[in-house]
Each structure stands twice: as structure tokens, then as C-alpha cells.
Structure 1
Amino acid sequence: MKACPWPVAALLPHAGNMILIDAVQGYDADSLSARTVIKPGPYSLPDGSLPPWLGMELMAQAVGAWAGCQAREADAPVKLGFLLGTRRYDCHADTLPAGAALTIHVQRGLIDASGMSVFECELRDESRLLAHARLNVYQPKDPDEFTQEASLT
């Protein structure tokens, strides 16, 4: 894996406290590893932890960071992508505890010319697997055209 020379904010089309991953540890043509420390934010529970379902968003942001690294490396703009869902998200924790240092690893399994992709994802703390999922994502060639509403004329 290569070291990532870009800050996470330069890889994702998110802003401010909506960026949940702290840094990219490394990436290559098919995978990325990122890290984060769980801190208070818009999705925090009263004790500062995150609900377990937010692990899927951490995974999705790591996939987005992977796409951002690929775009930056090719001197292309970072584009918007969409999490379509997962057939299975297995989480082995009741919450993602405040202050926990987590690693997110994503591995590309399938990508096609239309922009559809499947990634195998894992979320770990220092000693155990907290969650894993297979995410289905979509990155259209022209996100602006994809997100425009049709005119009602």
C-alpha cells in the first residue's frame, strides 16, 4: 500500500463534522485502510459513542476516500458517489465507544463500466473485528446530471 499524501477533506465531497474518518493509512488500486477515533458529533449518543449502524457510514466514507485517491492520482476531480446499500451488515458491538481508535479496511470486489461497485469492508478496534459488510456503491460519470430534478413543464 502507498502512503496517502492528501488530507481526507480533499478526498471526500463532505465537509466539516460530516467527515467521520480521520486519515488514510494507505491505499492501492484495489483497497484502502483508514483510521478514526470516535468523537462527539451530530450522530453521537448521549455518552459520546456512536450507534452501531454508523459503522456502515464509516465504511462508505472509506470507499469514498479510495475513489478520491484514485481520482487525485489520475489528476481528475473528486466526484460524488452513492451508497446503494448492503445485503448484510454484521456488527458485533452494541455501540462504537467514544474515544475508540478504529481501523476501516475496504477491498474492491467488483467494479463495472457503469460506475457500480462492490466492496468488502471491515471495521476493527485494536483487538477485534467490530463489523463487516459488503457495500454496493455507485459513482455516476456525471453526478450533477444524476442529481438534477426533471423539469415539470
Structure 2
Amino acid sequence: MRNDEIGRNDNFSRFPHQPGLGLILNLLEAFGLSLEDLLPHRGRMVLIDEVLAVDRVAAVTRCVVKPSWPMAGDDGIGSLILVELAAQTAGVCNGWDRIKSQGLDSDKTGYLVGIKRARFTVKALALGQNIIVRAENTYSFASLREVDCTARCQDCSIAEITLQLFQVETEHGSGKE
């Protein structure tokens, strides 16, 4: 999916936007970046399969529900996992911003300090479902951010979540406080 198609196909307001404002995963790879550069998660805790778009304000990701996910059972997984998908998508955006402002070796540590609001329209997700998640920073003060997130499956909204996050900031990109 091209950057200019994301908003049209997924009905996310920030995308489409001016060409060149966001980056697609292949461009992340061209910069020598990976999800592990953007997120502190490793191994089976990385739930994002693909970054569809990212800039300093918003990100759109694709996640495929897998049996290896935490809390997954034979029939799928409860909708509460959408909070983690939202947090990781916010982490992609904020990780990109961190790398741009503090450097690649900066501290990836961030904390989910609050769930201000969460509304789920499904109780569970089936294995193999494609979930498109969009996260946008809507408020920022010092190291605190408020992020509005939407999760969609096919053409249906399945969750709206507002997260409150704290991002550790480092001096001069040293990776040390």
C-alpha cells in the first residue's frame, strides 16, 4: 500500500497527506532501521507486522493476529490486546521522532502510564485477522504525550483508545540519562 492510499483505504484522517510527509517500511529499511530500532520490544512481544506510514506525529501499522501472541488461545484472543497494538503503534511514531531528535542510540524506554479512554466494538479477534492501527499524538508536554488510536479490521472500526505515555529523554542522544 502506498502512503497516499492509506487514508483513502482505511479512512484515517491524517493519511492521505502531502507526499513525502510519512515513511513506508521499505524506506525505514533503506535508512537501515527496523522495528527494534523504534520499539523496546523483542521477540514474540513485537506484535506489529508492517509499518504502513510513519512521521513525527502519527503512524499506521498492520498486525496479523497470531497464536504466539500473549493471551492467545485456540479460538483467538480477547480485544484487550488492542491496547498493546495501539501502544506499539504509538511507539513506532514516537520512536521515529526520538531517532530524528536524539539519535539512533538514544534510550527507547517509554511507559504506558494511563488509558484515558477505551471503547471496543468486538469481544475477541480471530487468528489470522489483519488489524490496521493508527496512532496520532494529540497532546504533548515535556516527556508526556496523549495519543489517540483507532484499530480497524476490514472496513469496521473495532477500537478507539486514548493512551497517556511517558517517554524517557536522553541528553545528546547518548542513550544514558
Fold shared, TM-score > 0.5 on shorter chain? yes
Asked if the contact 1:40–1:48 (Cα under 8 Å) also holds between the matched residues in 2, the reply is: no
- Which residue of 1 is the match for residue 85 of structure 2? 58
Looking at structure 1, the residues matched to 69 and 24 of structure 2 have their Cα atoms a distance apart, in angstroms, of: 30
State which of 45, 48, 53 in structure 2 corresponds to 1:18: 45
- Which residue of 2 is the match for residue 150 of structure 1? none
Flag the 1:92–1:70 CA change in 2: closer, same or farther, 3 A. Answer: same
State which of 104, 107, 110 in structure 1 corresponds to 2:133: 104
- Which residue of 1 is the match for residue 157 of structure 2? 129
- The TM-score with structure 2 as length reference comes to 0.74
Cα deviation, residue 78, structure 1:
4.7
Flag the 1:98–1:116 CA change in 2: closer, same or farther, 3 A. Answer: same
Looking at structure 1, the residues matched to 167 and 63 of structure 2 have their Cα atoms a distance apart, in angstroms, of: 24
- Matching of residues 39-54 of structure 1 within 5 Å: 39-54=66-81
Cα deviation, residue 130, structure 1:
0.6
Report whether the alignment pairs 1:3 with 2:3: no
Cα deviation, residue 87, structure 1:
2.3
Looking at structure 2, the residues matched to 133 and 45 of structure 1 have their Cα atoms a distance apart, in angstroms, of: 21
- The TM-score with structure 1 as length reference comes to 0.85
| Worse overlay, 123-132 or 63-72 | 63-72
Cα deviation, residue 45, structure 1:
3.3
Gaps of 5+ in 2: 1-21
| Structure richer in helix, relative to its length | 2
Looking at structure 2, the residues matched to 127 and 47 of structure 1 have their Cα atoms a distance apart, in angstroms, of: 25
The ranges of structure 1 where at least 4 consecutive aligned residues each deviate by more than 4 angstroms after the TM superposition are 142-145
- Matching of residues 113-152 of structure 1 within 5 Å: 113=142, 115-141=143-169
Asked if the contact 1:39–1:48 (Cα under 8 Å) also holds between the matched residues in 2, the reply is: no
Q: In structure 2, the residue corresponding to 1:117 is in which secondary structure?
A: strand
Gaps of 5+ in 1: 146-153
- How many residue pairs were aligned? 144
CA-atom RMSD, angstroms?
Answer: 1.9
Q: In structure 2, the residue corresponding to 1:67 is in which secondary structure?
A: helix
Asked if the contact 1:37–1:101 (Cα under 8 Å) also holds between the matched residues in 2, the reply is: yes
State which of 95, 107, 112 in structure 1 corresponds to 2:124: 95
Looking at structure 2, the residues matched to 92 and 101 of structure 1 have their Cα atoms a distance apart, in angstroms, of: 16
